[in-house]
Amino acid sequence: MNKLAINGGEKTIDKNFNWPVFDESDVLAVTKIAKSGQWGNPECGGVVEAFEKEFAEFCGAKYALACVNGSVALRLALIASGVRPGDEVIIPPYTFIATASIVVEANCVPVFVDIDPETYNLDPVAIEKAITPRTKAIIPVHFGGQSCDMDAIMDIANKHQLTVIEDACHAHGGEYKGKKLGSIGRAGCFSFQSSKNLTSGEGGLVITSDEGLYNMMNSLRNVGRVKGGKWYEHHNLGCNYRITQFQAALLSTQFKRLEAQTKKRDENGRYLNALLQKIDGIHPLTRGHGETLHTYHVYIFKYDKTKFNNLSKVEFAEMLAAEGVPSFMGYPEPLYKQAVFQEKNFMCYAIPEEVDYSNDHCPVTEKACYEEAVWILQNAMLGTKEDMEKFAKAIIKIQDAVK
């Protein structure tokens, strides 16, 4: 029998899927900024503004606003949307901490709503059930780069007059029914942190077509100054959330590769789906929910241990990684299980006393975390067709070995 790599056997695939992809053009762009001596971005302008314009246009939005990271992008959008202390914001529990922490940082209450088992994105039926008179916003996360059911979410939001802020931190260039992700709600937020499909090491950006929202976010990003105001004139409670020209220069060169890379990941994702569907006990998340372009920031498949001699998901994921597939077990538990929520470690933030996460239970998310979700990372999705075949082969090798 073929010895598993975790036990000293040969890896199924031995390849470096380097990320970020860069060349001399990126180095030159950064060098140019260094030589110019204009490193910061005090009043915007320069490459920051040029990149914002380019990205807004690409997304079909009127405005884009670059800022220090994706968390701050979400924070700016939520605060500028006009929420008030104690308002409730609906979010999924299968997401990165920032989707929830920025809600608490706005003195609002994160309300965790379960995900759809087919897509791992917010379930619109569950959203509607969670709405109360205090609900003010929904933050759908296009998890892994697959679009949420935006028609259903926008219908619910319009019916209840809620703000929709898309967490598109995994979804640069992704599409829902031909529309760019991030451009459908009132605002869409992106992260340029080092693992992301478009990166400058760190960074973030919000898009919107709402002029009032844009002006307020712009003020909050720039220590509360307003357009046309004086240097020492602060109208709003903002902070310095500006990015450097270095980051914008890198983003501009990286952006040139985004469309081709997204197409490649989407193609590979479809091919890998076809391959993995044939393996007993492996179920890729399904397509066909409006995602005309999936960014595969994370390629996710569901693992059924009963077809692998009851090998736990954690052990399976370790074996798969050892075989050379850039993969990972993903979130080990739903976000509401984190101590910050269970123990209500909200420090100075004004969260109402009665808020309690100890009884939260989202079964689909729990199953995803504890039993079934396995992630393959975006850089691996830039590989060749043969690489995808080897990913499938590695899974079959494990299945044969543990039988």
Q: Which residues in this chain contact ligand PLP in the complex, by CB under 6 A?
A: 69-71, 95-96, 98-99, 141, 167, 169-170, 191, 193, 204
Residue 190 or 308 with smaller CB distance to ligand PLP: 190
The residue sitting closest to ligand PLP, measured at its beta carbon, is 70
> How far, in Å, CA of 363 to CA of 375, rounded?
19
Residue 81 or 399 with smaller CB distance to ligand PLP: 81
Q: What are phi and psi of 64, to 5 degrees?
A: -135, 145
Residue 92 or 238 with smaller CB distance to ligand PLP: 92
Shortest Å distance, C-beta 155 to ligand PLP: 23
C-alpha distances (whole Å) from 279 to each of 18, 127, 270, 369, 394 are 28, 33, 15, 21, 11
Joined together, the tokens standing for residue 201 give: 């090491």
309 Rama class: left (phi>0) / alpha (psi -120 to 50) / beta: left
Shortest Å distance, C-beta 337 to ligand PLP: 17
Residue 368 or 394 with smaller CB distance to ligand PLP: 368
Shortest Å distance, C-beta 69 to ligand PLP: 3
C-alpha distances (whole Å) from 66 to each of 193, 273, 303 are 13, 35, 38
60 Rama class: left (phi>0) / alpha (psi -120 to 50) / beta: left
Residue 204 or 334 with smaller CB distance to ligand PLP: 204
Residue 193 or 222 with smaller CB distance to ligand PLP: 193
Helix intervals (H) in 161-244: 211-221
Shortest Å distance, C-beta 97 to ligand PLP: 8
Taking the mean position of all CA atoms in its chain, how far away is CA 144?
6
